[in-house]
A and B are shown apart, each in its own frame.
Chain A
Amino acid sequence: MQLDKASRGQVIKITGIPNDRVRVQAIRFGLSEGAVVTCREVVPAGPVVVIRNKQEIAIGRNLAKTISVEPC
């Protein structure tokens, strides 16, 4: 499943970030592949906001479409 399909409140595990630069930046943020996050918000037609340890990160919709996740 892709991140943009996640629903609010769902707990998901990030399994793949294809874009190299985004992947590196995400590791710094704390979102490495394998990280478990909670989907905090899906802005209609807009970004997906995930939260992990009180840290909220907004991810653009088109980027979210490329990120693979699995529900857990």
Chain B
Amino acid sequence: MNDAIESRIPSGGRKIVLAGNPNVGKSAFFNALTGLYTDVANYPGTTLDIACGRYNGDVVIDTPGVYGVSSYSKEEEITRDIILAADIVVNIVDTVHLERDLFLTMQIIDMGVPIIVALNMADEAEREGMRINHILLEELLGIPVVRTVAVHHTGIDELKEKIYQARPGLVDSSLLEKISRVSTTCNRGEALLILEGDPAVSERCGATPGTELESIYRARRERANQVASMIVQETGKNQGLADKLGRWMLLPVTGFPLLMLTLWGVYELVGVFFAQTIVDFTEQIMMVYYEPVIQSLVGSLLGPESVLTTILAGQYGVLTLTVTYLIGLLLPLVLGIFLVMAILEDSGYLPRIATLVDRALGALGLNGQAVIPLILGFGCVTMACISTRLLPSDRERRIAIFLLAFGVPCSAQMAIIMAVFAGLGPIYLLLYILILFSILTTTGTLLGRYLPGATYPLLIELPPLRLPQPKYFIKKAWTRTYNFIKEALPLFAGGALFLSILEVAGLLQGLRTLLAPLTVNWLHLPPEIADVFIMGAIRKEFGAATIMNLHMLPIQDFVVMLTLTLTVPCIASTIVILKERGWREGLLMWCVIYALAFFIGGVTVRLLEAFSKSGALNAPWLFIFIICAMGAVLGLARFRPRKEE
């Protein structure tokens, strides 16, 4: 078993592994068994890092949802290795999609691991008019089967009672004979995977990969279909509102308006309600009540002019700037964005957006699935970079991560953008969106056309539309916000401390002078802006307070916002990029993105100056110019054909 995974699993007791297809509710089981919380979402790829917990002195391990185990994706490899090391597998099955899920169930049975099946979402199946004979299923598979509705805690007690009755199920005798003929020192599960031609397992066991993948898969699929048809009784079918809505979401005529409506709703909720109404209120509290109290308190304790006072409660004070910014501005905004993300994830809308935009993303060298990381990126680029693991090929992960780090503003970046643009007016906001959009499209198109390899075609499941449960999405949004703030706090305080010390030691001035050719000469900005970029490498939102205090011209504000958006969002995302793409590629990406960001910033400031007369911006012509420039690049790129596998 993979050492990295092994080292994360607590020792002692048996290993109880939760496994199942995506969207079947594994996380709810993990929650119910261990009392710990993990993300519950209605889209593939939520469980990217494995979660471990305790149950009765045994270890419970959650796995990423997969349709089968082999080595087709990173998620699959992780799940495969955990199942291979399991003492008991709790296989969670979506009752509505029993036939599909039984493939994995039977693969695990064929691996010879003791298993118990939880027929989850039994209530949904009944509403769909399905009657399930789970006693017959027990007989056919030779393993215990429990009927559950995990989100309502139904059947969990029975599962807990029967969990230790898990046993290896019935295996087709001819397959069993084939497995026994695999000459290897490895265990039964590994022998099966070798037979199925899994390259990684074969290499690990020093065996030649088998060539019978398709015949084994076919036989298993046939048997799964057969078993499903024997135990499911359809009593009727109902075409509900969810069905109709699901259809409208897919058709461009209704799908794009619905998408626009959704985005408008998101804007109203996050951009207006959270970013303005709530933030005004929280900032007021921090500015009027919190900061003066801290300043006078620290001042009276340490002396108003002392070095320590400047560090703790000065312009970049650890106790003033950090706290005001985190609580007053970031907390409500990030909470708002994560709430929206959680609702979108739980509803099952995201895969339908993926289908709707598949064609458009194809132009960027991506398939529609990439829309999920790209949308998540507006919440948190770091998280989104991790979620690119659900993309089918390395090439797409590369393109998606580059676009995320380069052109997608995360919630923290958007927080500042919303705040700064509130003072600039709608023309600048439109301009910003247009420029960002052209940059994303041209970069994506160029990467899609010139990177070696081909786009992997779209092949995804559309999960049923579900009404998001407030209990779950609020909890999820809150957990993510809490983790975000928890992670941001030390970085932010460290950054503030670093800046204050630089300021006190007089080094800030030196750095400003050093960066002046870039900031003053190339970007036409005041030298103090260097602070924003220096700290921006750590966390983008760090510079926001400085930007607002500098009182620059609208054009300058605009250029700072654009350049900041284009640079890599924060130290956490930088680390994730290095981790996901490897040191060499990651570092190269980082450098290219920074160079491009400053280059585009400089070009933009010259464009803005050229298109404005005595301070007023000639917006229409500028818009036309940008659109033409984008059209020219896209037109030229067409000479190179698009590739698809």
**Residues of chain A at the chain B interface (Cβ within 8 Å):** 19, 21-30, 32, 40-41, 43-47, 49, 53-63
Q: Would you list which residues of chain B between 71 and 86 have a CB under 8 Å from chain A?
A: 72
**Residues of chain B at the chain A interface (Cβ within 8 Å):** 67-68, 72, 96-97, 99-100, 103-104, 128, 213-214, 217-218, 221-222, 224-225, 228, 246-247, 250-252, 255, 351, 354-356, 358-359, 362, 367-368, 457-462, 464, 644-645
Supposing A29-B67, A43-B356 touch, asked if A56 and B214 sit within 8 A by C-beta, the answer is no
Q: Check if A58 sits within 8 Å of B359, measured CB to CB.
A: no
Residues of A within 8 A of B644 (CB): 62-63
Q: Check if A23 sits within 8 Å of B214, measured CB to CB.
A: yes
Please name 18 pairs of A and B residues whose Cβ atoms are closer than 8 Å in the assembled complex, sorted by A.
A24-B213, A27-B218, A29-B459, A30-B221, A32-B222, A43-B251, A44-B251, A46-B358, A47-B368, A49-B355, A53-B228, A56-B246, A58-B461, A58-B462, A60-B362, A60-B459, A62-B362, A63-B644
Q: Check if B252 sits within 8 Å of A58, measured CB to CB.
A: no
**Distance A25 CA – B221 CA, assembled complex (angstroms):** 11
Q: Check if B97 sits within 8 Å of A63, measured CB to CB.
A: no
A22 to chain B, nearest CB (A): 6
**Distance A23 CA – B68 CA, assembled complex (angstroms):** 13
A49 to chain B, nearest CB (A): 6
A28 to chain B, nearest CB (A): 4
Q: Check if B221 sits within 8 Å of A58, measured CB to CB.
A: no
Q: Check if A46 sits within 8 Å of B356, measured CB to CB.
A: yes
**Distance A29 CA – B461 CA, assembled complex (angstroms):** 8
B116 to chain A, nearest CB (A): 21
Q: Nearest residue in A to B393 (C-beta to C-beta)?
A: A21
Q: Nearest residue in A to B456 (C-beta to C-beta)?
A: A21
Q: Check if A63 sits within 8 Å of B250, measured CB to CB.
A: no
Known: A32-B217, A56-B462. 15 other contacts (CB 8 A): A19-B457, A22-B459, A24-B217, A25-B67, A30-B100, A30-B225, A41-B251, A47-B358, A53-B100, A54-B96, A57-B459, A57-B461, A58-B459, A58-B462, A60-B457
Supposing A41-B251, A49-B462 touch, asked if A28 and B103 sit within 8 A by C-beta, the answer is yes
Q: Nearest residue in A to B232 (C-beta to C-beta)?
A: A53
Q: Check if B100 sits within 8 Å of A55, measured CB to CB.
A: yes
Q: Check if A58 sits within 8 Å of B72, measured CB to CB.
A: no
Supposing A25-B459, A30-B103, A44-B252 touch, asked if A54 and B128 sit within 8 A by C-beta, the answer is yes
Supposing A23-B214, A25-B67, A49-B250 touch, asked if A43 and B458 sit within 8 A by C-beta, the answer is no
**Distance A41 CA – B252 CA, assembled complex (angstroms):** 12
Supposing A29-B67, A58-B358, A61-B359 touch, asked if A43 and B459 sit within 8 A by C-beta, the answer is no
Q: Check if B100 sits within 8 Å of A29, measured CB to CB.
A: yes
Closest 8 CB pairs of A and B: A60-B458, A63-B457, A28-B67, A56-B462, A58-B355, A60-B457, A28-B68, A27-B217
Q: Check if A27 sits within 8 Å of B103, measured CB to CB.
A: yes
**Distance A54 CA – B228 CA, assembled complex (angstroms):** 13
Q: Nearest residue in B to A59 (C-beta to C-beta)?
A: B459
Q: Check if A32 sits within 8 Å of B368, measured CB to CB.
A: no
Q: Check if A43 sits within 8 Å of B221, measured CB to CB.
A: no
A52 to chain B, nearest CB (A): 8
Residues of B within 8 A of A58 (CB): 250, 351, 354-355, 358, 368, 458-462
Q: Nearest residue in B to A26 (C-beta to C-beta)?
A: B459
Most buried by A among B72, B221, B246: B221
A47 to chain B, nearest CB (A): 5
**Distance A46 CA – B251 CA, assembled complex (angstroms):** 9
Residues of A within 8 A of B645 (CB): 19
Residues of A within 8 A of B218 (CB): 27, 32
Residues of A within 8 A of B354 (CB): 58
**Distance A26 CA – B645 CA, assembled complex (angstroms):** 16
